Amino acid sequence: MEKSEKKVAEQAFAKERQNALHLLATNPNHFGTLASSKLKAVQLVSYNTYYEELTCVGYNPDLNELFATIAIKRDSGYSGSLCTHGSREYVRFCVNYGTGWEDQGMVALNVHDIPTGKDCANQSEKPLSYVVSIPLKNAKRRFCSTEVLPLVRATLSWGIPIPAGDCDYKPIWGDREECRIQLKPWLFLLPIKDFELDTFIPSFLEIAKSAPQLTVTQVTELANEGATSPSSLAAYDAEPLSLSALAELYGKRKGAEVEPLRFGLHAIQPILSQPESLANLNILTNQLPNINWAGIFETFNKTKANVNYEELECLGLDYNLERLTATFKIKKSGGYSGDLCKKGSMEHVAFWADWDNDCKWTYLDMVSVNVHDLEKVDKGVCYTAVLPVNLDRFRQPCSKPKIVRLRAVLSWQTLPSTTDPNELETYGNRIDTHIQIKPGKTPTIADPNSWVDIIGGIYQDHISAAGLTTAAAFFANNGLKPDNLGRPCPFTGRINMQGPSLIGHKYRVQVRRLGTVGWTDVVEPIPVRTYIGSGIFIYTYNHPDAAGYFNYLDPNTTNRVLALWDAPSNPNNLASGSSAQWEMKFDILGVAGNFTKVVQLNAVRPDAEIVIDGLGGPGTGTCKDFKPGDKMTGHFVARSNYMGNYSLGTSVPGASITPSAGNSNTAVSPGDAWAMTLPAGTPKCGYYVAVNIGDRTIINSSHTGLPGHADAGFCVR
């Protein structure tokens, strides 16, 4: 009877979820999540994690990116199978440095109803682990003597986008996860040492040229230490603390002791693995006579997978960017071989995959994260190790979801095994999970439609024959829709083309205005990013040959970018009314056939006007005087070929203007009417009313909104 009642309750609950948007449109407080609303709640639902749940939030100091891991728990409740549009999980990140929450932005994840099966080990394939990520904005880095350990909050909301700036949002379905993170410090002070301009300037210029992605501050740091390129990191990397220095350091800690096995691990392991180094034991005994070395060796032999200092907590697939991530937590303030001004120690994460569900693990690679002793650990500091992967060969049709078993092994200081997925070292642990690989075609030379995935940041199958986005379109890098209403969007600026890498072949991209004959080669060099450690990337470029053909490179070094086309700022290029549609063509040298796609360009900014009717009739009140309590009126124009939305505002404190916003074109000039009453007590001053417009043109393959703006001034006496 209890199971039957539970099933009935779940079915009723699923009905509420299925109709959530309709219910909220009728009553925004239907689920009781609006505390200040006068509308009566019908059903109290908030922070419900029956369907999905945040399991970790983390940060990678080298990449300066935030990560959140999401567990998708059920077979259904996500609005359709992989062959449908499904639904979206929204995550908004916020950071608190101690002075209040700062919004970092929102990302989304496309989720679907996927049947739950059993893997080869007879384990359930649910939950599925997905990860979303976002760059940390305006990171407040400091010199290494000052720890910067802000609190990160991620909020998950199914189906309903989280309003910008709302770090206290109360989701209906979803939850909230928090953890401290550690920002990578500046290692050196910025002033040029001893005014050595003759050596500093050449070093500065050489580093800036070889690594254009570095900030001026980062280049200055390197140049101050005499480095000639970012690869000269060893020139300024701190030396590791000696065993005696570590013993002295941790011997002074009261209430946060670090046992000799921990700080002496690097000295013990060689003695056990190399008999010829047994003589070193006498040296250790003489150096540190107060330590019970025999007891340490005995403890070492008994210790495996100790998680007192660090522990892997989450593992998953960054679904939008196709990277494997493992999030671990540092639990103590000491035991990591020195503070942020020292070399510290390394947490190593080895990734394994069971691609074919046959219980045969394939070693993928290892990623290391630098950690240090920290004073303000509190409930832990969270780090995320990141491994880019090329999943093209594992894609399957949407009718056949591809589920993969994944494993991560964490090991402190000791490199984890590359041959035994079950081996655990002294410190660290192992976790398994299941991930879902995006459906699609396995790329082949014989199928031109498999050569290109993304154009202008949008999956190419979500761009219509007319060159506009479809209602199902979303940005590939962050999962967000280019237009929340699903309206068609054109393109402008730099249009990226992305896709798989067919190593060993050469390809070419060409463009032409639709209806013309000649093609133009796209020859913009493609940045190639190679990671060399310590947060530094070396940039080179992939240049085309004389015939316009590029070599295919490792997609993990190019972010799958195949071409960078700077669209013309005047796409019509001829008389008024001519076509602004352009064709993009992709061909592979020596291979029959090609891939073509039409894209609709738009470089025309929205038309914005605003006037104040005021006391003297339409348009004559601008810069005239008003007094508190006056009702002001006027007209405004907000028009675009691809209107996104507009908003009206004023600099008058406490005043509200009507209408405040809209998402469709106003009438032609003089436009629509607006009105505003000046509040009593408005201070004497000059003020303005303004209209701001953002259309729905996709700019630089990353965001929408060619802007339009107009304002009108007036005085209050």
Sheet (strand 698-699) strand order: 491-492, 698-699, 703-704
Structure tokens at 305: 């997978």
What pLDDT, on the 0 to 100 scale, is given for residue 660?
95
Name the nearest CA neighbour of 612 among 648, 628, 636.
636
Q: Looking at the predicted structure, is the pLDDT value of residue 619 above 70?
A: no
Identify the DSSP state of 549: P
Q: In what side-by-side order are the strands of the sheet with 454-455?
A: 458-459, 454-455, 494-498, 561-566
**Alpha helices (H) along 107-254:** 197-210, 216-224, 243-251
How would you class 686 by CB atoms within 10 Å of its CB: exposed for 0-12, middle for 13-18, buried for 19 or more? exposed
Q: Is 492 within 8 Å of 126 (Cβ atoms)?
A: no
Are the CB atoms for 595 and 448 separated by under 8 Å?
A: yes
578 confidence band (pLDDT: 50, 70, 90): very low
pLDDT tens-digit map of 157-209: 999 999 999 999 999 999 999 999 999 987 644 444 444 556 666 777 777 76
- CA dist 328 and 176 (Å) reads 18
**pLDDT per residue over 678-717, tens digit each?**
999 999 999 999 999 999 999 999 999 999 999 999 999 8
3-state SS of 18-79 is: HCHHHHHHHCCCCCCCCCCCCCCCCCCCCCECCCEEEEEEEEECCCCEEEEEEEECCCCCCC
Is-contact 673 635, C-beta < 8 A?
yes
pLDDT of residue 348: 96
33 vs 657: which has the higher pLDDT: 657
Q: Give the tens place of pLDDT for each residue, 212-261.
A: 656 666 676 666 655 444 443 333 346 788 888 888 888 776 666 888 88
What's the CA gap between 436 and 453, in Å, rounded?
18
Has residue 142 got a pLDDT over 90? no
DSSP string, 669-712: TT-EEEEEEPPTTPPSEEEEEEEEEE---EETTTEE--EEEEEE
* pTM given for the model: 0.87
Higher pLDDT, 4 or 305: 305
Could you identify the residue written with the tokens 């605003």? 610
DSSP for 335-390 reads -SSS-TTS--EEEEEEEEEETTSSS--EEEEEEEEEE---S--TT-EEEEEEEE--
Token code pair at residue 213: 């992605």
Beta-bridged to residue 647, according to DSSP, are: 661, 692
Say whether pLDDT at 355 is over 60: yes
Per residue in 11-70, pLDDT tens? Answer: 556 778 888 878 887 888 888 887 777 888 888 888 999 999 999 999 999 999 999 999
Strands of 548-623, DSSP E: 550-551, 561-566, 581-588, 595-600, 607-612
